[in-house]
Amino acid sequence: MLDLKTLAVITSLETICCAIIILYLNRRREYPGVRDIGIGMLGSCVAGMLMSMQGVAPAFLSIIVFGAMTVFSMCLINYGFHLFLNLKADIRICYILTAVSFLLGFYFTEIKSDYTMRVIFISAICFFVFIDNFRILYFRYLPEIKNLCRFNGIVYLFLVFVFLARAALVFFIPEMRANFIMETGTGLNCHYYLSLVTVGTTFISLFMTFVCVIFMILFRLEAELKAKTERLVELNGDRERFLSIISHDLISPLSSIPGIANLLLDKFDTFSSDKIKEFLRDIHSASTRVFSLLDNLMTWSKASMGRFPFAPSENNIFEIFTGIIKLYEEAAKNKSISVVNLIPQNLSAYCDQDMAQTIARNLFANALKFSADKGVIELSGEEKGGAVVFTVKDNGSGMDESTLSKLFKIGERVGKPGSDGEKGNGIGLLIVKELIDKHGGKISVESAKNSGAKFTVEFPAKSIKG
């Protein structure tokens, strides 16, 4: 007959290999539940090794700890399946059942030697664990590997009947009783075959668990890869459209500069000083637009690629906007625009100072550009629900639903002339969104045609990671 101890050692070693493979594949991705399943399988290996030492090692290790370790490993595998399939799970149940198994094993081994009751209680606990494994795998399977999950569930269901049969046979038939699972000898043939079926079926269930988890990981990886590929294709398309728009915005002002310069060179002496000044203003305006566009492009590129230095700290929002207001003071005077700063003087947010200034500058410049002469720009802020919220509101031309839906999207052209014909390309808002995302913050817009716009930014009030 096949030696049960040898079988236990062989199956334990094979299960160790399976567990190590699972843990290795999960070392970087950290899929929920996979680590628990891998550790549970390692625990079952330890239990198998302890079981193989029955009759040689002390009963405390080979019987009591073995029983508790068996329950713990199976409960941990069950817990892992719950997590991986996004089902409700509680690790405390695992600890409680393990503690109960240990106490009952100790009582029916050291205090009252009763092999029958020990088998019945351990079988009862495993019964509920295996039934739940069957329920999860057979009914809550991953659609991509439906048949594999269901087959694994059926294996666990078969294991339920094995443990029930073991408990019933040990309880009703004296010849099925022994001092421990691995015990063999005269008159224990039925006990031997029952133990053989138990060990064999347990190993098959663990091996099928290994196969099931491997395919689960593979399909999750495939789904993630597919989603990332689709996202990459989408981003590439957006960037191509975006670059097409930008190239048009760059070519327009650049093409005018050589023409004006050539005209000045050829006919400089025939132009009056006022006409020359007008040409120079046109060149200055065009070059300023190009510089502003290139500067915005550089900022957006750094932010989108994560190359923008990120050093968050406590920064006063009121002081940041006070500096921005002063920067655009002359431009606001030229359009007779009033600025109302209602931001509390002590309002602070945990943010990168340079990024916060870039955000504030773009939002304020945007409000200034679209506000009509004698308009009003209102700034406000507050602490709300553990976050710092500030708004930039104007009473300019506003935006319709179509324009609102295109904001913050690469490849969508939203730039339009300001109230005095100021040119725009929409890059400023892309920069704002990129930098706010870097902070883990949010931005929202409220606007309607001819009713102005209100941009609301939410920053964390406390420490964050970049």
Residue 225: which residues within 8 A CB-CB, separation 6 or more? none
Q: Average pLDDT for residues 142-167, to the nearest whole number?
A: 87
pLDDT band at 340 (very low <50, low <70, confident <90, very high): very high
Q: Average pLDDT for residues 349-361, to the nearest whole number?
A: 87
CA angle 81, 102, 114 (to 5 degrees): 120
Between residues 24 and 428, which one has the greater pLDDT?
Answer: 24
Please tell me the predicted confidence (pLDDT) of residue 393.
92
Kindly report the length of the chain: 466
Between residues 234 and 60, which one has the greater pLDDT?
Answer: 60
What's the pTM value of the predicted model, to 2 decimals?
0.56
Q: Which domains does the chain carry?
A: 4-231 (1.20.1070), 309-460 (3.30.565.10)
* Cβ-contact 103, 68 below 8 angstroms: no
Reply yes or no on whether the pLDDT at 30 is more than 80: no
Segment 361-371, tens digit of pLDDT = 889 988 888 88
Q: b vs e for 269-296, b when ≥16 Cβ sit within 10 Å of the residue's Cβ?
A: eeeeeeeeeeeeeebeebeebbebbeeb
| Helix 34-52 and helix 4-25, axial crossing angle in degrees, nearest 10 | 160
pLDDT band at 63 (very low <50, low <70, confident <90, very high): confident
pLDDT band at 28 (very low <50, low <70, confident <90, very high): confident
Look at 193-207, 241-255, 342-356 and tell me which has the smallest mean pLDDT.
Answer: 241-255
DSSP letter (8 states) at residue 154: H
Look at 71-80, 308-317, 450-459 and tell me which has the smallest mean pLDDT.
Answer: 308-317
User: Which two tokens mark 378?
Assistant: 């209102």
Between residues 74 and 250, which one has the greater pLDDT?
Answer: 74
Q: b vs e for 167-199, b when ≥16 Cβ sit within 10 Å of the residue's Cβ?
A: bebbeeeeebbbebbbbeeeebeebbebbeebb
* Cβ-contact 195, 182 below 8 angstroms: yes
Reply yes or no on whether the pLDDT at 251 is more than 80: no
State percent of the chain over pLDDT 90.
Answer: 22
Q: What does each C-alpha distance from 229 to 91, 153, 217, 222, 305 come to in angstroms?
A: 36, 33, 18, 10, 18
Q: Average pLDDT for residues 28-38, to the nearest whole number?
A: 84
Between residues 402 and 300, which one has the greater pLDDT?
Answer: 402
One-letter amino acid at 444 equals: S
CB atoms within 10 A of CB 147: 8
Q: Which helix (H) or strand (E) element contains residue 461?
A: none
Q: Around 411, how many Cα atoms within 13 Å sit in the side-chain half-sphere?
A: 8
* Rounded (10°) CA dihedral 86, 90, 93, 94: 60
408: nearest Cα among 233, 242, 234: 242
Q: Average pLDDT for residues 32-47, to the nearest whole number?
A: 91
State the residue for tokens 């679209």: 370
Segment 196-242, tens digit of pLDDT = 888 888 889 999 999 988 988 888 888 888 888 887 876 676 666 56
Segment 390-427, tens digit of pLDDT = 999 998 888 878 778 777 776 565 656 566 656 555 67
Coil, strand or helix: which one is 23?
helix
Average pLDDT, the chain: 83
Between residues 431 and 324, which one has the greater pLDDT?
Answer: 324
Reply yes or no on whether the pLDDT at 94 is more than 50: yes
State percent of the chain over pLDDT 70.
Answer: 85
Please tell me the predicted confidence (pLDDT) of residue 466.
46
User: Which two tokens mark 29?
Assistant: 């991705």
Reply yes or no on whether the pLDDT at 307 is more than 70: no
Partners of 445 in beta bridges? 455
